[in-house]
Structure 1
């Protein structure tokens, strides 16, 4: 749920280096998403995808907008949509679900997934399973015939190399690109990440109904202790919400760098990040390893 962190500039920069640039569509309006896709197209001729959280109330309308805007790839997690596969097939757009179990991987393949992101519990943000990225990758890779992309605690060039050694067909990296010059995260967010160690990353229960990993802050502590303030008003951004706190507002506050009210999603691999690099520099380090 990289709310307004991975936007057009970051996605385009990744695409320009030969990766698949992903725009975080959750929490955007359809018009905002359209503009971000158009902007990414202006900045890059590479592959641009969108990641929209299934748990979002506007999931269907955002998927439709992405398709209408000519997106190259649809990625989705935090729940499972069967409908997105038929939408992708009709529009001839690859659909790549984020899964944390062999069962969902097999279902995804049957429904027409072009690839699968196998995400371990050692990832940042919302989590789906209890196995780490290495274990879930092996389980899924042995049982499906479509490409499997490994996700979770892949931060350094060595992590990338190890994922490919374990059989991954690709990698999904969030935390490393969060701390990049093209990221839309605030300076305060990046400074927090640069100083964080693995022990500073805690597991919270999101109002989405899924666990998530975030840097330990005052807000994260309040959530863990069930003392986070309930939303004063609700815009019904989620299909189902515990109403214990507003994860959308907490993440947006984190994006702004609000150390009091913000929630800062990241993985335990954050301690491997000690400097803000450009996307080009990150890719150069990976390619030269």
Structure 2
């Protein structure tokens, strides 16, 4: 079977594959643009997106906000009319400014996780930008849909269900990550779908459901579709593409990784995260590294009581200094054994 086209409001998506937002700097204009060109939804991560701007060290917020517009424009030059969106963490400092900058730059879609995006409908009001929350539980889906309905008379344009096998920061406790079974989470996915359906009926609209987390091959795609999904979100597999914005060394870290190298780490921002074990992670467990300055990237992160600066760790990794940086990944990243192209991945996954 083939994945069928979907509509996100008035946006036509030929192949319902959303490329997950990966920061810092893993999914910027080149990857997102080529995913959109292939018929999917290309997503630019706004997390410290301006890390390589000339004034980033002095004015990180200004550099990031300017870079959002630059990367959306450059992605559109590649996308040939395809759908280009952004991923913005609710936990981001100056979150509202990131949303407004994305709307102003003409993002087709804003995907928000790492918190409940309760105010998102207000921030995009009057624009054509579509909005999609990332949820990991029936409870979070219900809270978001209920609040959007009550406060703004609005339902999501799309919902991403991100499971426990996803990469980077995760919406689960360590205990949940250790104990939850595939069968239990399959039931959670079904419950989320039913919750969202209630609001789709109320607003007489189709709300596509996208399942994410650990999706790597045709069997994974089939399972998601059998559960009732309208499409999939894939991230880790797009890292080892020639179009990915990360350095070759970062991509090679995925190719070199073994299953046992992928571990859960404690992030300075207070969430568990999934990453490739390396010298940096081992050193961080021994005690605090020297933190020269704070980039004010995440709410609740305090310079005085964190083991390392997550911005510096992620920037080091994306630039290629992987042994001294944090390499976030999904649970199945070890299955990346070769370099591919974006189109090759679409050809493989779209016909499951």
Q: TM-score, normalised by structure 1?
A: 0.94
What does residue 42 of structure 2 align with?
Answer: 21
> Which residue of the partner structure matches residue 127 of structure 1?
170
Distance 1:236 1:20 in 2: 29
The runs of at least 4 consecutive aligned structure 1 residues that moved more than 4 Å come to none
- Note the alpha carbon deviations across 1:229-275, whole angstroms, 9 max, x for none: 14221122222104311111101111112133210000120122111
Hey, what's the Cα distance between the residues in 1 that align with 2:43 and 2:170? 19
Query: Matches of 1:272 and 1:57 in 2, distance apart?
Result: 34
The structure with the larger Rg is 2
Report deviation, 1:228: 4.4
Query: Is the counterpart of residue 38 in structure 1 residue 65 in structure 2?
Result: no
CA contact (8 A) 2:108 2:128 kept: no
Structure 2 unaligned segments of length 5 or more: list them.
1-21, 50-63, 149-154, 198-206
Cα distance, 1:197–1:138 mapped onto 2, change above 3 Å: farther
How big is the shift at 1:109?
Answer: 2.2
Aligned partner of 2:323 in structure 1 is 260
- Preserved CA contact (<8 Å) 1:197 1:268: no
Report the counterpart of residue 96 of structure 1 in structure 2. Answer: 132
1:77 and 2:113 correspond? yes
Distance 1:148 1:252 in 2: 32
Partner of 1:240: 300
CA contact (8 A) 1:120 1:136 kept: no
Q: Distance in 1 between matches of 2:332 and 2:244?
A: 18
Specify the alignment match of 2:196 in structure 1. Answer: 144
**Equivalent of 1:196 in 236, 244, 257:** 257
* TM, length-normalised to structure 2: 0.78
Out of 59, 62, 83, the position equivalent to 1:47 is 83
In structure 1, the partner of 2:276 is 215
Matching of residues 104-115 of structure 1 within 5 Å: 104-110=140-146, 111=148, 112-115=155-158
Deviation of 1:158 after TM superposition, in Å, equals 2.2
Closer/same/farther in 2, CA of residues 167 and 215 from structure 1, 3 Å limit? same
What is the aligned partner in structure 1 of residue 30 from structure 2?
9
**RMSD of aligned alpha carbons:** 1.7
Aligned-partner SS, 1:202: strand
Q: Deviations over 1:86-112 (max 9, x none)?
A: 223432322111111211101222312
CA drift of 1:135 comes to 4.3
Count of residues paired in the alignment: 288
In 2: Cα distance, 1:89 partner to 1:199 partner: 46
Secondary structure at the aligned position of 2:85 is classed as strand
- Give secondary structure in 2 for the equivalent of 1:117: strand
Give the Cα separation in 2 of the matches to 1:168 and 1:209: 30
Q: Which moved more, 1:7-16 or 1:141-150?
A: 141-150
5+ residue gaps, structure 1: none
**C-alpha distance in 1 between matches for 2:212 and 2:125:** 25
Give the Cα separation in 1 of the matches to 2:24 and 2:163.
20
Deviations 1:127-165 (A, max 9, x none): 012356634322312322133211110012221122111
Aligned 8 A contact 1:9 1:182 in 2: yes
Greater shift, 41-50 or 233-242, is seen at 233-242
Greater CA deviation, 270-279 or 136-145? Answer: 136-145
For residues 24 and 226 of structure 1, what CA distance do their matches in structure 2 show? Answer: 30
